[in-house]
Amino acid sequence: MYEEIIPFLKCPYCNNPLDLIDSEKKKEEIVNGKLKCNCEELWEIRDGVLDFRVEEQESVNRWSELTKEMSFEELDEMILKYTPQNQKEISRKSIEDILDYLKLNKPKIVIDIATGRGSLLNELVKQLKSEFHLVCIDLSFVVLKADREKIKKFNPKIKVSFVSCDATNLPFFENCFDLALSLMGIANMRDLIFKALKETCRVLKPNHHFLNSTLIVELNSKGYEKLEEVVGSQVLKTYNKYLVRTEVINFHKKAGFREAVFKMSGESIGQKNELDLLPFEGEWFAIGNIYAKK
C-alpha cells in the first residue's frame, strides 16, 4: 500500500480519518504497518495489503479454502481450461475496451472493485506504464496478497495499493477516484449488487466514469431458471433483473449515476460450461461494459 491513499481512507466502523502510526517501507511501498482511528481501532498492513478484517464471500470465491486444495496458479489454469472459448474471447475484448478508455482518458487514481484473481489487474499492469495509481479491493486478503506478488513480476514500477475490505462499505471518503472499474466483480455480488453500486458512486469524483463489465442474458431462459434453483427465489428477487440489459442500466441510475450506457463487447451462444451457471449452454448472452457517469 502506498502512503498517497491515506488521506482518502476512512474507518469502516466510525468514518473517521486514519493515521499511520507505524510503518516499514520497501522503496516507497508500505509493506508492514498500522493505521489508527480516533475510535481506537487499529488496522494493519501486512505483506503490503491493508487489512480491514472482512470475511470472504459465504458460498463462492472462498479463496482461503480453495487454495488449501490447489495453488493459485493451478486454480488459474483450471479456470482457463474450463471457461468456454467464446466467453474467453468476448471477456478479453471487454478488457481491451477498458484499456482503450484508460489510454485515452489517462486517469491518475483508479479503483478496481473485487479484483479477485486479477484478470483485469494483470492486463492493466502489463499494458500500461507507471503513470497512474491503482487501488485494488477485495473481501479476500489472501487473493490480494497473491495478486501483489504476481504483478511485481510483470511490472515492478507500477503503483498498486491493495486493500482488503467490503465493496458495500468502502473505507474511502466520497469523491476520491478519477475512474472506477469492476470486471465481473460487482456483477457477481448477487443481492449486494445495489449496495456496492451505491458505494462505488459515492467514492467516485463527480463527472467521472465507472466501467462495470457485466454479463447480459435473456430473462425468460433456462439459465435464469437454473440460477433461481441455485441461489433461491428470495435472493434472486432482489437482483434477478440485473442481468437484463434495460434493468442493468436502471440499477446504475437508481444507485446514483447520472448516465449509464451498455456498450457490448461481444455476443454469442453459451457453450458447455462446467464452471459457471451462466452463460447457459445453447442460450444467447452478451458481455460488455456499462459506462456509468456520476
Ligand X SMILES: C[S@@+](CC[C@H](N)C(=O)[O-])C[C@H]1O[C@@H](n2cnc3c(N)ncnc32)[C@H](O)[C@@H]1O
Interface positions with ligand X (CB under 6 A):
56-57, 61, 114-120, 137-140, 143, 166-168, 183-185, 188-189, 192
| Residue 115, contacted partner among Zn ion, ligand X, none, CB below 5-8 A by kind | ligand X
CA distance 219 to 228: 11
In angstroms and rounded to an integer, the radius of gyration of the C-alpha atoms of the chain is 19
248 lies in the binding site for Zn ion (CB under 5 A): no
| Residue 286, contacted partner among ligand X, Zn ion, none, CB below 5-8 A by kind | none
| Residue 14, contacted partner among Zn ion, ligand X, none, CB below 5-8 A by kind | Zn ion
118 or 279: CB nearest ligand X: 118
173 lies in the binding site for Zn ion (CB under 5 A): no
Q: What are 280's three cell numbers? A: 447457459
- Spatial contact of 196 and 165, defined as CB atoms under 8 Å apart: no
Residue 193: enclosing H or E segment and its boundaries? Answer: helix 193-203
Which of these, 178, 207, 182, lies nearest to 197 by C-alpha position? 182
> Shortest gap between Cβ of 61 and Zn ion (angstroms)?
27
Please give the full DSSP string across 94-110, using - where no structure is assigned.
Answer: HHHHHHHHHHHH--SEE
Cβ neighbours for 234, distance < 8 A, ≥ 6 positions apart: none
Query: Which stretch in 10-18, 168-176, 224-232, 268-276 sits in contact with Zn ion by CB under 5 A?
Result: 10-18
CA distance 96 to 9: 30
| Residue 288, contacted partner among ligand X, Zn ion, none, CB below 5-8 A by kind | none
Among 21, 39, 70, 277, binds Zn ion (CB under 5 A): 39
28 or 58: CB nearest ligand X: 58
14 lies in the binding site for Zn ion (CB under 5 A): yes
| Residue 11, contacted partner among ligand X, Zn ion, none, CB below 5-8 A by kind | Zn ion
What is the side-by-side strand order in the sheet with 204-217?
18-26, 29-37, 42-46, 49-51, 159-164, 133-138, 109-113, 177-183, 204-217, 284-293, 259-269
35 lies in the binding site for Zn ion (CB under 5 A): no
Query: In the complex, which residues of this chain contact Zn ion (CB under 5 A)?
Result: 11, 13-14, 16, 37, 39, 41
